[in-house]
Structure 1
Amino acid sequence: MHYLPLLFCLLLCTCVRAQTGTPAMPRPEHPKPQFERAKWLNLNGAWDFRIDYSNTGEERNFVGDAAAYDRRITVPFPPESRLSGVEHLDFMDAVWYRRQFSVPAGWRQDRVILHFGAVDYLAKVWVNGQHIGNHYGGSASFELDVTDQLRDGVNDLVVKAEDDVRSRVQPAGKQSLNFGNTGCCKYTRTTGIWQTVWLEARPASYLESARVVPDLDNERFTVRPVFRQLPAGFRFQTTVFDAAGREVLRQTDQANSHLVQQLPLVQPRTWSPADPYLYDLRFALLDPSGRVVDEVKSYAGMRKIHQVGNRIFLNNEPIFLRFVLDQGYYPDGVWTAPSDAALKKDIELALSVGFNGARLHEKVFEERFHYWADKLGYLTWAEFPDWGIDRSYNAPEALLNVQREWRETIQRDWNHPSIIAWTPLNEVHSPKQGLENYDRAVREIYDLTRALDPTRPINTTSGFLHIKTDIWTVHDYSQNAKTFRENYAQLPDSAYYVNWDWYNQGDTLAGYQTKYDGTLPYVMDEYGGTFWLPEYASSAIRGGGRAKWGYGKTASAVEDKIAELTKVLTDHPLIAGFTYTQLTDVHQEVNGIFTFDRKPKFNPQRLRAIFGAPAAYEGPR
């Protein structure tokens, strides 16, 4: 019976090599379109699987015992999802995966790199029974060099994922700490592998990464490459192509560890929501004879994002942010989109009702989402799923886990032009104890973000207490437009700065900037949240651990309320943007513009007029 997995693997590998995508190969597209080599092998599909309830699989030798795996799972979907074929909704402290693969004959002389888009939370990896490495972090991508562990023919790959979401030291985002969906906004968990697993072939000397920085004011890109095993005499070459495939520029420099390559462009075409123009890039590592040793395809957008006083500027023109909250959940895939088309569709849905971008809420979105945002001209604030940790930061491990994975996230995604701000924390307020630790932690996270990427503003804490930030963000779910308007009528002199202070510390907040002073862009980072479903017209419904309720008996009545609230923001001369809650319903939280399965709840034309209405200050000054 042990021949069956081998036969399945060989058939699957044949399908993968064709790279055409078949029903046996979910999510067949290249998972890293900004850094793509020709030689790669998708490992998605059917794997052997085992839930390790007691977390004793290492002791019981699950690494070497193929018979220990009692079911199959479809990777890259998490075991909680329907698409995985498992749909186990209880807590899983540890899960095991196993599959076999063969390395293509053309890779014999290459380094073979094993990639994981994301594994929640602690991933341990073995190849042919040899432990090759661990990775901590449920959202950041990672890679391992498996070359020295490979053998001719069939290889065994085993992955263990440990996920103690209730430990309060690992970031969890909106994952529920209870058995089921609970409260206003805690949902089905994601355990183990939830993004594409793939192999890549690289030469002995290769380009490890390339940071591409657009410099609009000086009409150039700068490229900061990082190399591995770089001999003397090698050169680094970047070729820039326009959208029609014509070569615009070719720059070749001596390759070294401190190279900063300059790519001057004549009258560069900018990237913006109105014109999401992208330049294609080709990076090449050349040996002393000029032979191409390594080659990587990429792309970049020429855009500038900055702030002056209380205004945000895109390409040196003021811009009003018309954002929607997107939590990135799917009914059948949980955190994993069922297809690449589904990622694109969510952006198209948002654009269709007047939004020009999204706050990507409490989740690190996969690289393919950012790719589509780049292609479609969709602005985003990239956020970290920091919920679930001890917010007092009295547990040093919690802070270290956030800092490390946040760094990995920024470094993975910093080349995407669609990302215009970083949001490491969400709704952090004054803790009941440990305010000094909290203060130090927030400042450290801000400084880390600024050191990694000085080109984007930082929304350090979306909503509530602000300690060190570039953008002042507020959350206000008032449903009365008159009250909503009065709250912000006197900005910046108004004392109204936050909707809730759940842990009011009184005098302990002395010395902290708890009142907006007018020097930063002021963004209503969450508002609306207007609950409604067609069922409300006939009766109240309950479910999912909380009452579902709505403000209106008809869709048009809710549209009226959305229009009133939004007009308060677009009419205000000191408000720089908004984030409407939210794009889709998510389980028990039914305040979406669209249902959980992406069906419209309101009149799209009217919503487009509401969210796309001109703001008070818009236009060049």
Structure 2
Amino acid sequence: MLYPIDNGIREVKDLSGIWNFRVDERDEGKKQQWYSQKLEQTMPMAVPASYNDITTEASIRDHIGDVWYERSFYIPASWSDRRIILRVGSATHHAVMWVNGQEAARHKGGFLPFEADITDQIVRGAENRVTIAVNNELDWTCLPSGEIKTYEDAEGRYPEGYKTQETFFDFYNYSGLHRPVKLYTTPKNYIRDITVTTAIQGTSGIVQYQCEISGKHSKVVVRLMDAEGNQVGETEGIHGQLTVEQAKLWEPGRGYLYSLAVETFNEQGQIEDCYQQPVGIRTVRVEGKQFFINNKPFYFKGFGKHEDSDARGRGLDEAINLKDFNLLKWIGANSFRTAHYPYSEELMRLADREGLVVIDEVPAVGMCFWSETNTVFREDRVNEKTLSHHLQAIQDMIARDKNHPCVVMWSIANEAATNEEAAVPYFTKVVEVTRKQDPSRPITIVQTMWPSVDRIGGLVDVICINKYFGWYSDHGKLSLIERHMDRELLGWYERYGKPVIISEYGADTIAGFHQIPPVAFSEEFQSEYLNEFHKSFDKHDFVIGEHVWAFADFATKQGLTRVIGNRKGIFTRQRQPKAAAFKLQQRWKSEHPKW
């Protein structure tokens, strides 16, 4: 799926801003066809943003079910005789979209875009109206997974119709239109998609491309431009390759980008459509105990993180993205994982530009109860419907992110019950579809089980593990961390013989809490805690990365173990450093055998 761009042929109109908004308190909007006319009894709501933290009402923050968004727009006169596409960057987690009262699209999945051709639904020269019903309910057919719990209480302890959303993941179920809603145009005969892969031969870069063109065309011209705007290659056809002599490679910390300009021409020799696709020339592979980028061993230094900030929630915030990237560079990080869902396209494009390496993760989180007796992969929980949605999410994520040089690996799930027998056919199918969709990148699954009970590690290329010794087990016992971590790492490597990334390790820390000797929740404890893990990592040559959990404090549902959110951040939610940030900076910016 191509990202909407402005150029000499295509135009984009951003509908971000203040929309009309209404909470569907009694689940009656669809039955009463609220989309058939202008919404009534509305309040203003920002798009993109989560709606949960913007008002002062707990009933809105905690609402389960539909909410409604609406705004009007006009089509410029210059858009005559053009295809007009309405695109939603994300809607968490289910959405139905109407234009002028006519249904235009339905979508399931809260972290990937969807769009509709509305050319025949709009009225030119007059006001048009887009209405979107967004539903945040999660069940076992969704990613992430969840359950709606209803209360039938004869004793009257709960109000009639009372329900709660049960989630099995540790981040707040922010809801709404989290990414921009855009109108864009294409010609009637247009470039539908472009797929780019790259290779390196000596000092030359090889750019292979495949175009999908809709409608008739007489010629396709493809030009490759360097970052300075100089043409470095040209060819014709819907597929082919270009060779760049003395190529400048996309490398960690140096995100050099070329531009692949694709142009289509009609029978009269006139240009019909064009699209400029950023291209980073780089290779990735896993071999033996190492991960290679451009044939150089790469060690992952960075974080798991969230799209999460004050007031805006999970909504796109370009300023926050820039701040985060500046902090990542300041601390010496070179990578992050999109825990636990695909992040915004805008952030991915920024990672391309800034040279930050990304492990891209599908939103398969919450598929584990950490119990040998309470199974997850069974008919009434994770089943064929879940798998169908999982495969669709994988395919959509790859379709969106396949051309990003920053993406070096696909993560197919986080902390699933990989000890269960039924998980084997499930993830065998997920891996099969992922490899077929994109054979150019390695695959991982983020594990939490012990290696002795895991059944899935043989399917993937890299072992990622989340471990919290000294926190969720042997709480506060810093002296045991190195010993436990050594056993864990050796267990994984001895079983599968594959390189290992520690994709999560961390301790909740309240900024400003200090104590010597260190105790849990103090800043001193967090620093010593990380140091004990690092002693283990540095011993083992098959360890190829460390991602601290988490980059910054983030919102979670209320709970006895959460003090207004998860406090494992190295930075506060306001992006201010805790003491451990300086310890990590010292480690990651030092001379070290692993990097």
TM-score using structure 1 length: 0.81
2:127 is aligned with 1:154? yes
2:408 is aligned with 1:420? yes
> Are the equivalent residues in 2 in contact too, given 1:120–1:193 (CA < 8 A)?
yes
Note the alpha carbon deviations across 1:260-280, whole angstroms, 9 max, x for none. 221111121111124221112
| Matched residue type, 1:593 | I
1:204-603 → structure 2 map (5 Å cutoff)? 204-217=188-201, 219-229=205-215, 231=216, 233-253=217-237, 259-337=238-316, 339-388=317-366, 391-392=376-377, 394=379, 395-430=383-418, 435-464=420-449, 465-467=454-456, 468-479=459-470, 483-487=480-484, 489=486, 494=490, 496-497=491-492, 516-517=494-495, 519-527=497-505, 529-537=506-514, 551=520, 553=522, 555-556=523-524, 558-587=526-555, 588-602=565-579
1:183 positional shift: 10
SS in 2 for 1:566: helix
Residue 192 (structure 1) aligned to one of 163, 172, 176: 176
Return closer, same or farther for 1:552/1:109 CA change in 2, 3 Å cut-off. closer
1:601-616 → structure 2 map (5 Å cutoff)? 601-602=578-579, 604-616=581-593
1:612 positional shift: 3.9
2:21 is aligned with 1:49? yes
| Matched residue type, 2:351 | A
Distance 1:522 1:438 in 2: 21
Which runs of 5 or more structure 1 residues have no equivalent in the other structure?
Answer: 1-29, 254-258, 498-514, 540-548
SS in 2 for 1:66: coil
SS in 2 for 1:123: strand
| Matched residue type, 2:181 | V
Percentage of pairs with the same residue: 22
In terms of mean alpha carbon deviation, does 97-106 or 571-580 score higher?
571-580
2:154 alignment partner in structure 1: none
Distance 1:159 1:355 in 2: 39
1:425 positional shift: 0.4
Aligned residues: 547
1:60 positional shift: 1.0
SS in 1 for 2:35: coil
SS in 2 for 1:594: coil
| Matched residue type, 2:279 | A
> Are the equivalent residues in 2 in contact too, given 1:466–1:472 (CA < 8 A)?
no
1:381 positional shift: 0.5
Return closer, same or farther for 1:45/1:617 CA change in 2, 3 Å cut-off. closer
Distance 1:427 1:43 in 2: 37
1:564 positional shift: 3.4
Distance 2:16 2:507 in 1: 39
Distance 1:184 1:582 in 2: 18
Distance 1:170 1:117 in 2: 18
> Are the equivalent residues in 2 in contact too, given 1:585–1:595 (CA < 8 A)?
yes
> Are the equivalent residues in 2 in contact too, given 1:175–1:189 (CA < 8 A)?
no
1:298 positional shift: 2.1
In terms of mean alpha carbon deviation, does 185-194 or 467-476 score higher?
185-194
SS in 1 for 2:130: strand
| Matched residue type, 1:224 | Q
SS in 1 for 2:34: coil
| Matched residue type, 2:569 | G
| Matched residue type, 1:486 | R
Distance 2:68 2:79 in 1: 28
1:82-121 → structure 2 map (5 Å cutoff)? 82=54, 88-121=60-93
Distance 1:609 1:417 in 2: 28
Distance 1:310 1:84 in 2: 52
SS in 2 for 1:534: coil
Return closer, same or farther for 1:211/1:84 CA change in 2, 3 Å cut-off. farther
| Matched residue type, 2:469 | S
Return closer, same or farther for 1:303/1:189 CA change in 2, 3 Å cut-off. same
SS in 2 for 1:216: strand
> Are the equivalent residues in 2 in contact too, given 1:176–1:189 (CA < 8 A)?
no
| Matched residue type, 1:454 | P
SS in 2 for 1:149: coil
In terms of mean alpha carbon deviation, does 100-109 or 215-224 score higher?
215-224
1:54 positional shift: 2.9
Return closer, same or farther for 1:377/1:79 CA change in 2, 3 Å cut-off. same
1:568 positional shift: 2.5
1:454 positional shift: 0.8
1:386 positional shift: 1.4
> Are the equivalent residues in 2 in contact too, given 1:194–1:336 (CA < 8 A)?
yes
| Matched residue type, 1:242 | D
Distance 2:544 2:136 in 1: 39
2:104 alignment partner in structure 1: 132
| Matched residue type, 1:366 | S
RMSD: 3.1
Return closer, same or farther for 1:78/1:491 CA change in 2, 3 Å cut-off. closer
1:131 positional shift: 1.6
1:317 positional shift: 1.1
1:443 positional shift: 0.7
Note the alpha carbon deviations across 1:193-239, whole angstroms, 9 max, x for none. 2110010111110001101111224731111111112x2x5222222
SS in 1 for 2:444: coil
Distance 1:291 1:89 in 2: 53
SS in 2 for 1:336: coil
Note the alpha carbon deviations across 1:245-292, whole angstroms, 9 max, x for none. 111112222xxxxx4221111121111124221112222111233321
1:607 positional shift: 2.3
